[in-house]
Structures are given as structure tokens and as C-alpha cells.
Structure 1
Amino acid sequence: MLATVTVGVWLVLAAFVAGYWQRINTDRSWRLGALGLTLLLSVLHQVLYSTIAGESYVTFRYSRHLAEGFGAVYNPGEYVEGYANFLWMLLVALPGLVADDPDVIVAAAVVLGVAATLGSVVLAYRLTNRIVALARSDDPALPGLGVLAAVLTAAVSSLAAFGMAGVETPLFVLLVLTACLALVAGRAVVAGVVVALAIMTRPEGIVLALAGLVWFALDTLRGRRDVHAVVAYLAGAAVLLGPWTVWRLTVYEYLLPNVVVSRWSGPWSQRLAGGWDYVAEFALAYQAFVALAVAALALLLTRRRVPGPVARARAAVWLLLALAASQVVGVVAAGGGWMPVWRLLAPVPVLLAVAGVAAYGLFVATSPSSAGRAGGGVVGATPLVRGRTVPIVVVALAGLSLAVSLAHPSALPAMRELDRSATQLAEIGRWLDDSLPPGTVVSTHNTGALAYEAGTSVVVVDVFGRTDEHIARQGEPLPVTARGVYVARDFDYVVNERSPSVAVEESGYTTEQQCGINPAYAGLYEVASFRRTGTPYWVSVYVRRIPADDLIERLDSHPDFTYVSCV
């Protein structure tokens, strides 16, 4: 039903944009109406997914402990940087400071994610019009192009899928667009502050920061600005990055967080092969945006010799394309990602949408018909932008992007599977929280929803090292997907030094009783199998042999789980 409504809103938006394109271009109220429909499409697209990813609960656990006064830690007393999204973790934690309810942290993440996604749609509109205005600010027909970039952004599956997922992806996309707008506007201090926030949200924000530095440095070399712009940009970034880096080194003692260290382990050849497969699948699904990139390049190359203002706008489009390319290169080098809908590449189609539409705007602004109109030449000449062909093509491309969400196995179906797993792990976490005494050590590779719902009284050991310093930095690299994504492991350390009382290996419930045991736990542990009351589902855990009877009795006392011996 929701899918039908979403497609219906897209059809209404397509008819509105194509049918009233001339009014949208010349009347601000009509543009705002089109933008309102676009925002509605974005909301429905996000609700279509409605999945809180298990990955987000790792950050939520840090946020919860921060709000409760334990500090930015995964386990109280263990200062390990198992996150790489400090700004997002901090923002999500703020509501927890005023409301003593763990659910408020999850709700805040969803609200912030939706808001950041809608903000990205608006900024795509604003950035496109800003770039085009550099070339021809006196043409009232050009502002409508921003609507087309906004429509494409609202239809990007990789952005919409994570609007309600609780992860930092929408915020990072928003900051990338904000930084690009500040760079195009020449606001050096603002740009520096925004790129610092981007780095504090995701590590690849460093590429954005370097691009900004090159942007202002080239302006200085070409005489457009003096060296003070570069200094102001660096100062704006340093105001936040300096204290934050000092704090991180003081608290965690390492410059790189665990998640970054483990992701860059493993042989280069396998990572590059996996990253290439990841990007190739993305390009196949997003052929519409690849076509936009090709069109942008073709349009830029047809306008090589242009006057100063147009050259500035042309450089801005090149900046967007360079940022998209650098994001792709970084993901290839990192081996791709394991989350669906190509989360790591979410900024790319948005940047390509703005670049493609803006490049067309520059082409129109420097076309003979537009030049003649602006200079009093050909009377009654109609600028190319007023034709309906381009808006029809753009809304059709947006429809193809929506089709990715609805039909691609790596989109909506894969996110539904994430939701199913997270829901089941959350139930298992609440079971452990209700049944085990405070201070119990639990090991698992499901460090998300299970650990968050297990509460602050349970110590959770991540067997893949994301929240454990020793495993992340001294463990053995382990590929977790066929694409070259690596984690670290050291089962000997987990079993003999962390000595968990309970180990959970499954990623949710099973439909049959499982009595096998991981050889790494054999000898010191035994399998305890439980049936989820009133369902066909089972969950098996490993319990330490010495206190096994007491642990099984505690777990069996919960009304929702019943112990069934494997013997």
C-alpha cells in the first residue's frame, strides 16, 4: 500500500513539474509548491524503508552511556573508540540528558535522520541554483533547475533507506552539500567549520576537507582571493578539530578508531576486488545517475572557453564531480561495505544529481538563445531551459531510482532482513538483561541491538574487535563478506582472558534447535538451547561450564524462553 502511495506521489510530482514547468521557472510560489511535493516524496520514500539498522545500536549504546554519565564508552570503565561518527553519537545522546528513557535516544536518531534527509533535498535545490546563478544571475528562468536536483535527491535510494535507520549517513550527506555551498559562496570560515563537522561525522570527511583546501588555494593562486581565505578556512576547521583530537587522544590514546583499523586490515588485492564489485553493483543499479555524470562531463567539455563568472560556476561543477569520484575511489580501497543499498556511496548520486542539473544550467546560460535574450538580441527567443524535455527526463530518472528501492534485492528486501534480525536480537538482549546478574560478561559478534537492549549492567565483548582494543589492533584479519570487508578476531583472547559467562553467536532466532558449538568455545562451554515461547523460534547460547546450571536456571526463569536440553 505504501509503495503504491509513494509511486502515486511521484506521478503527481512528475505531472506537476512537466505540466507547469514554465510557471515553476518564473514564479517562486510555484517553485515552493514543487519543492513541497518533493519533500513529501522524500518522506514517503524514507517511510517505505522504515528500518532501524542493527549497526546504529552500537552508536546508541555509546550515546546512552554518555547520557547516563559513564562517558563515551561501550562498556563502563572501558575506554575504547568503537565508533567513527562522534558528532552523530553526541547529537543522539543529547535528548537522553533530559529524558531518562533509552527509547528517546532511538527516537531522536530517527527524527534527526529524517530531518537531515529532507535538509539534503532542500540543499540540493539551493546549491544547484547557487551554481547556475554564478553564470547567469539575471535570467529568471533558471531558478527552476534547483527543483529538478531536489527531485533526484528525494529519489536516491541510498539516502532514503537510511533516513530512518538511525545511522549518520543522512547527516554526512547534509554536511557535504553544506560544505559545497559554503565553498561556492566563498565563505572560508563557514566552510572550514562544516568540513570539520563532516570529519567528526565520518572519516571520509577528510577528503572533503582536502578538496576545500585545494579550492581556496587555487583561488589564491589565480588572484581571486588573497591568502587570508586559506588561513580562515584552516582556522575554521582547527577550531573544532583541534580540541576534538586532543580529547580523543586523551581518552582513547589512539588517533584511529577501532572500526577504521579493522576495515583496513587484510590483503590489498582482496579489498580492491571486493570494493570494485561493490561499486560495479552500485553503478549497475544507478545507471540513471551514471548517465547524469556522463552528461555533466559532456556539457562541461563543450564550454571550455567561458568568461570569468561562468568559469567559476564550471569549477563548482568540477568540484562536485571530483568529490563523487573520490568517494568511489575511497570505497574501492576500503573493500566496499556489508550494509545494503550501498550506504557508503550515499553522497555520490546526490552529488551527481546536482552536478548534472547545474551543468545543464551552465550550458543554457551560455547558449546563443540565452545570451541573445539577456543582451536584447533575438526577440522572443525561448531559452532551452523552458522546454519540457529536460524536466520530463529528470522525473523519469527519479522514477528509475524509486524502482531500485522497490525491485532491487539489495534495497528494500535487504533492509527488511536487517530489520528482522535487529528486532530478534533486541528481544534476546532484553532477555539477557532481565535474566543475568549485573556485571555478567557476554560475548557476541552482534554488537548492535542485542548489546543496546542488554543494558548498561551487562558487559558486552565484541568478538570481532570493534569495541575491544586488543582484538582490533592485534587480532587476525577475517573477511566477513565475499566483497573484501574485513574485521579482526582472537577467540583465544576472548575465551581465556575476557572469559564471558554467556556467548551468543547467532544473528537472530533459528527455526530449528541448534546444538552444535563453535570449536573455539568447546571444552570450557556447553550449549544451552531455548525455545521462544509461543513461537516456532529457537535460540542457542554457550554457557560457561562451571556456573552453567545457575546460568541456565536464570535464563529459563524468563517467561518468554524455555530451556530444552540438547541431550
Structure 2
Amino acid sequence: MRRAGWAVVAVTIGAWLALAAVLVAAWPRLNAEPGWRAATMALTLAFSLAHQLLYSTIAEDAFVTFRYARNIADGYGPVFNPGERVEGYSNFLWLVLITLPRAMFGGSVVTGAVVLGVLCTLGAVLLSYFLVNRMVADAQHGGAGMRGLGVAAAALTAGVSSLAAYGPSGLETSLFVLLVLTVCYAVAAQRPVVAGVIAALAAMTTPDGLVVAVVVGLWLVARAARGHTTAWAPSAYALGALVLLVPWTAWRLTFYDHPAGGGISPTERLGAGWDYLAGFALGYQAFLLLTAAAVALLLTRRRAQDPAAARARAVVWLPLLLAVAQSMFVGYAGGDPMPAWRLLAVVPPLLAVAAAAAYGIGIGAPSVPSPKPRAAALARRRTVPVVAAAVCGLSLVVTTAHPRMLPAMHEWRTATGQLEQIGGWLGENLPQGSVVSAYKPGALGYRAGPALVIVAASGRADEHLGARAQQPSAGAAGYPAGGDGYGGYGGYEGYDGYVVSRMPLVAVDTDTGYTAEQHCGMDPAFAGLYEVASFQRADTEQWVSLYVRRDAKRRVLELLEADGTYRHVPCA
């Protein structure tokens, strides 16, 4: 890690130490004095910001959405290639939000997405604070309770490594986490219409949002069936959700000709999903232990019989149910090839909220008939802040030491930057309208610009591959089984033949950026019509190989060597 990287690590650890010291030392004051809570929350947000800056990685997949956003702002519409109506993104609301700065002010899509993602993560930290305190206060009929529990939940959320990793990633992950917590808050506040609207927004942010919407709806139906709420609650919730989901779905079906293609077989998917969940469980053992304690409290501490306390206890079960449902959905879907367990980033914040609220309701809530002495004694106990500080510290250990966390994210950042360089090189030198094939179309396609037609060889954002919906012979978690250990074409049966049929001028035979040595192998499907052209980046030991159409090879080589950035080195 470079010196600047170690400096950010030191700042993040320092922020955690300061937060831990304040949490433990000032715990009685956090429960009694709003000023101390405000100051500690400011420190918690600073820790969250430092934790996010520690990763500072823009995801390669985010550039697919960036290209759609730029095309919208520049007048081409929500398309990857002008004229091809393919829904190659799955984060509509996020796409709309990151398009606005460029459309309104001419700003950078990338910068706007990164800033918005960081702000959404900070918003999730704040909402954890308000949600926990709302649940505990409802159980105590609006009493003071233990306000420090909200601070503890916020600190735990700030320490979630997956959330911090994807805050500045340019992806919709942090927005989704914020919306899920907002749905829980709306339910706790008995605002079913608002909950339905927010659940619809979550579904418009990522397909996982449909799981959230269904689980919350079923929870409301179950509450109504048991007489704990009126039948209007689930009906109002459904109404709030359908107001947005119906017109959005109608627009998608009428505007887009094809969805995005690609997928893996059910057997491979379930195996990959199990591995994904197992790795997540090992990385987040501390949060799972907190969850076990929360469930034990909810099952064993049933002192309160009044309706308000019973309802507050039922609301605590909702984030636990959402965490379980999300985990099951992700496991069935096969996980995700991206590092840091992106698809499960919402689970630890939900567990943190449930654990803190369960403690406040099951133990911290006053009992009848003499609540004040017990409440005061519990507010002085430092068990909660010690546990919260320790779990945050363990999260930092996971962040810095786990191979799927900071090391993998930084490797990904390097590969994405290299694909950007390759895309910029092709976009600046190839003629307008040239067709370029790439397995990773995001960063390369975004930097190449709308002047080039990008064929996404993985099946994403391509109208013909989307219509065919063929399945790649994928490895674990959807990774392609590469043809020669370098490129991304060989593992996609039928895809490579189709790509050739579109006659791209150039096919980029890499999905991980540069290689350290020259590669001259070719996918058999390209043989005859194409030749390998190997390029070395000037003054480096970085190489990239292209498949260049044989009938245009001489002209293409002249164009690509014109600026002197890359030098063609013939294969032996």
C-alpha cells in the first residue's frame, strides 16, 4: 500500500479510537444530554467518512450506469449505444439521480455519483440513530429511555465494511441501504402509505428492493390478521407502492426492446450463493453474535403487556426478517463476483438496528411498577458502548486484512483504471461509429464515449445478446471461465460466435486491464477474420492484446499508434 493509503488507514483508526473513547467514557451523558449525543454523532459521521475514503474505489460496473446517464443528459436517451434500446442497468432510481447534475448543470456524472453515494452512507448512519431511538421511545410511551442506544447503532453502521466499501463506488448500494432503513422507520412511525412509496423506490433502485417490498407487505398483513393493526395498513402500503411501480413497469415494457442478457445455471448459482453466504458469515461473525443476543432478548424478555410496548417489540422483528430475506435471496441468486459482499451490505446495518433496539426494549425499557431506578442504572452500564466500540474495531480489522475487502477493492480499482485508459485510447483514435467488443463494457465504454458502438460480450447492454438470453459457462459467482486465462470470450458458448457476427472492428481481449507480458493467443471463433495485435504501453511493461479485423488491420494499427501512447509489437 502506498504512503497515502497508510495515512488514510491511520486517520480511520484514529477516528475509531476517538469514537470508542467517547462512547465508553461519556455513556451516561449520552443517555442524558442532547449536546453530548450531537457531538458523538458528529464524530461517528467523521469515522464513517474516513472509513469510506479508506476504500475510495469506483466500481467498474458503475460505469455502465454512468454511460446511460451521460447519454440521457446529452440527449441520446436511456440507452447504452444510441439507437439500441436495451435495459442494461438494474438501478433506475440511481440512474435518474446521478443524471440530474449533468443534465441540469453540466457536471460530472462520476463525481456526482461518488458524492451522492458517500452522502447516502452518512444518511444511513444517521437514520440508524433515529430508528433505534424511535423504536425504544415507542415502547416507553415516548419516555427518555436510553438515547445512547441510537448512537451505538450509528457507530455499528459506520463500521460496516461492505457499506463503507460501496459508499464511494458509484453504485446504488448505499442508496438502497438508506431506503431500506427509511422503510423501517416509516413502519415504526405507522405511516403505511409512506412506507409503500419508499419500498417502491427501493425496488426501483435494485431488484433486491422487491424482496424488501414483499416482506414488509407480508409483515403488515400478518399484523392486520392478528388484529394488531387495521386492514387499512397493508392496503395503504400496497397503494403507496403501486402508485410508482405500475407506471414505471409500464414504461420499461414499452420503451425497452430487450432486457439485459446473461446468467448461470441453477446448480452453479446455488453453489456460488452458499459460498458467498459462508464467506460473509465468517467476515461478520460479530454482527451475527449481536443478532443471536437480540433474538434471545426478544424471545425471553416478555414483561411488557401494554399495546405500545408489544407493537415496538414486533417492529424490531422487521429488520431481522428483512436481513434473513435478503440473505436468502442473495444466496439463491448466486452471490456476486464483486468484492466486499456488496449484495449483503444492507444486512449488518439491519442487524445493528435490531440488536440495539432489542436491548432497549427487552432490558433497557422500564418495567412496571418502578421504572426510574432501573432505567437510571441501565443508562450507566457501559456494556453497550464497549461492545459497539469492539465490533467497530473488528470491522476495521476485516477491512484491512480480509482478502475480499480492502486488498480486493484496490486491485479492482487498478484494473478499472487500466480499462478506462484502454477505452480512452480506443475512443480517441478509432473512427466514429466503429464497433468495439469488450467483455467488461463499463469503464472502457464510458471512456470511449458515445462515438463508438460497444458490444458487451458478457451479454449486458447488447440488444441481440439480451434477446437471445444465452447462458455463459460461468465459474463461481458468475465469473467467466476464461478461454486462455487472459481474455473474457472463451468461456461464453455462443457469445463469441455472435460477437464475430456483428463484425466489430476491434475486440478487446481482457477483462482485468493490462498484463505483465505479451499474449498472442486467440479465441478460435475469431480465427480467419481477425488477427491478434499486441500493444505495449509506452515506457511500461504493460500489455494489451486486441483482435483486429484482418481486412482493416493496417489502417487500425496506424490509427492506434498515431499518438505514441501504445506501440504495436508483432507476435512471433
Q: TM-score, normalised by structure 1?
A: 0.94
Contact residue 471 and residue 489 of structure 1 kept, 8 A = no
Residues 233 and 381 from structure 1, CA distance in 2 versus in 1: closer, same or farther, beyond 3 angstroms? closer
Question: What is the SS of the residue equivalent to 1:142?
Answer: coil
Residues 393 and 365 from structure 1, CA distance in 2 versus in 1: closer, same or farther, beyond 3 angstroms? closer
Identity of aligned residues (%): 51
1:320 aligns with 2:319: yes
Amino acid at match of 1:42: S
Counterpart for residue 444 of structure 1: 438
Q: TM-score, normalised by structure 2?
A: 0.93
Offset from partner CA, 1:102-125 (integer Å, 9 cap, x none)? xx1000000000000000000011
What is the rounded CA distance, in whole Å, between the counterparts of 2:304 and 2:144 in structure 1? Answer: 21
1:25 aligns with 2:31: yes
Compute the displacement of 1:500 (Å).
0.5
What is the rounded CA distance, in whole Å, between the counterparts of 1:44 and 1:154 in structure 2? Answer: 10
1:562 aligns with 2:567: yes
Amino acid at match of 2:340: V
1:40 aligns with 2:46: yes
What is the rounded CA distance, in whole Å, between the counterparts of 2:81 and 2:502 in structure 1? Answer: 13
Offset from partner CA, 1:79-123 (integer Å, 9 cap, x none)? 00011000001111111113446xx10000000000000000000
Q: Pick from 392, 397, 403 the counterpart of residue 403 of structure 1.
A: 397
Question: What is the SS of the residue equivalent to 2:64?
Answer: helix
What is the rounded CA distance, in whole Å, between the counterparts of 1:372 and 1:387 in structure 2? Answer: 21
1:212 aligns with 2:216: yes
Amino acid at match of 2:218: V
| Structure 2 runs not aligned, ≥5 long | 1-6, 481-490
What is the rounded CA distance, in whole Å, between the counterparts of 1:385 and 1:552 in structure 2? Answer: 73
Deviates more, 1:136-145 or 1:408-417: 136-145
Q: Pick from 58, 73, 81 the counterpart of residue 67 of structure 1.
A: 73
Counterpart for residue 279 of structure 1: 277
Counterpart for residue 310 of structure 1: 309
1:528 aligns with 2:519: no
What is the rounded CA distance, in whole Å, between the counterparts of 1:201 and 1:476 in structure 2? Answer: 25
What is the rounded CA distance, in whole Å, between the counterparts of 1:509 and 1:210 in structure 2? Answer: 44
Compute the displacement of 1:50 (Å).
0.5
Compute the displacement of 1:430 (Å).
0.6
1:270 aligns with 2:268: yes
Residues 38 and 137 from structure 1, CA distance in 2 versus in 1: closer, same or farther, beyond 3 angstroms? farther
Compute the displacement of 1:563 (Å).
1.5
Compute the displacement of 1:496 (Å).
4.0
Contact residue 446 and residue 505 of structure 1 kept, 8 A = no
Deviates more, 1:301-310 or 1:481-490: 481-490
Compute the displacement of 1:366 (Å).
4.7
Counterpart for residue 363 of structure 1: 362
Compute the displacement of 1:33 (Å).
0.7
1:465 aligns with 2:459: yes
Where do 1:151-166 residues align within 5 Å?
A: 151-166=155-170
Q: Pick from 119, 126, 136 the counterpart of residue 122 of structure 1.
A: 126
Question: What is the SS of the residue equivalent to 1:70?
Answer: coil
Amino acid at match of 1:292: L
Amino acid at match of 1:511: A
1:242 aligns with 2:223: no
Contact residue 463 and residue 490 of structure 1 kept, 8 A = no
Q: Pick from 169, 174, 177 the counterpart of residue 173 of structure 2.
A: 169
Offset from partner CA, 1:272-330 (integer Å, 9 cap, x none)? 11101111011001011010111111111112463221211111111111100001101
Compute the displacement of 1:469 (Å).
3.5
Offset from partner CA, 1:142-179 (integer Å, 9 cap, x none)? 11100000000000000000111100000000000001
Offset from partner CA, 1:489-508 (integer Å, 9 cap, x none)? 53354344311110002121
Amino acid at match of 1:325: V
What is the rounded CA distance, in whole Å, between the counterparts of 1:66 and 1:406 in structure 2? Answer: 38
How many aligned positions are there?
A: 554
What is the rounded CA distance, in whole Å, between the counterparts of 1:240 and 1:485 in structure 2? Answer: 34
| RMSD over equivalenced CA pairs, Å | 1.8
What is the rounded CA distance, in whole Å, between the counterparts of 2:251 and 2:469 in structure 1? Answer: 26
Residues 523 and 488 from structure 1, CA distance in 2 versus in 1: closer, same or farther, beyond 3 angstroms? closer
Compute the displacement of 1:381 (Å).
7.2
Q: Pick from 130, 143, 147 the counterpart of residue 143 of structure 1.
A: 147
What is the rounded CA distance, in whole Å, between the counterparts of 1:493 and 1:245 in structure 2? Answer: 33
Compute the displacement of 1:565 (Å).
1.6
What is the rounded CA distance, in whole Å, between the counterparts of 1:453 and 1:122 in structure 2? Answer: 35
What is the rounded CA distance, in whole Å, between the counterparts of 2:90 and 2:225 in structure 1? Answer: 35
Deviates more, 1:532-541 or 1:283-292: 532-541
1:430 aligns with 2:409: no
Compute the displacement of 1:262 (Å).
2.7
What is the rounded CA distance, in whole Å, between the counterparts of 1:383 and 1:210 in structure 2? Answer: 41
1:294 aligns with 2:292: yes
| Structure 1 runs not aligned, ≥5 long | none
Offset from partner CA, 1:126-150 (integer Å, 9 cap, x none)? 1111111121145424111000000
What is the rounded CA distance, in whole Å, between the counterparts of 2:501 and 2:224 in structure 1? Answer: 57
Offset from partner CA, 1:429-477 (integer Å, 9 cap, x none)? 1100110011000001011100100000000001110112432453542
1:197 aligns with 2:197: no
Deviates more, 1:482-491 or 1:134-143: 482-491
Contact residue 463 and residue 489 of structure 1 kept, 8 A = no
Counterpart for residue 491 of structure 1: 495
Counterpart for residue 504 of structure 1: 508
1:334 aligns with 2:340: no
Contact residue 338 and residue 481 of structure 1 kept, 8 A = no
Residues 491 and 211 from structure 1, CA distance in 2 versus in 1: closer, same or farther, beyond 3 angstroms? closer
Question: What is the SS of the residue equivalent to 1:528?
Answer: strand
Question: What is the SS of the residue equivalent to 1:530?
Answer: strand
Offset from partner CA, 1:22-79 (integer Å, 9 cap, x none)? 0000011111111000000000000000011111000000101111111110000000
Amino acid at match of 1:361: G
Contact residue 145 and residue 358 of structure 1 kept, 8 A = yes
Question: What is the SS of the residue equivalent to 2:362?
Answer: helix
What is the rounded CA distance, in whole Å, between the counterparts of 2:8 and 2:526 in structure 1? Answer: 46
Contact residue 320 and residue 352 of structure 1 kept, 8 A = yes
Q: Pick from 2, 13, 23 the counterpart of residue 19 of structure 2.
A: 13
Counterpart for residue 488 of structure 2: none
What is the rounded CA distance, in whole Å, between the counterparts of 2:290 and 2:86 in structure 1? Answer: 42
What is the rounded CA distance, in whole Å, between the counterparts of 2:262 and 2:378 in structure 1? Answer: 51
Deviates more, 1:140-149 or 1:349-358: 140-149
Counterpart for residue 539 of structure 1: 544
Contact residue 86 and residue 256 of structure 2 kept, 8 A = yes
1:392 aligns with 2:397: no
Contact residue 514 and residue 540 of structure 1 kept, 8 A = yes
What is the rounded CA distance, in whole Å, between the counterparts of 1:138 and 1:477 in structure 2? Answer: 55
Question: What is the SS of the residue equivalent to 2:472?
Answer: strand
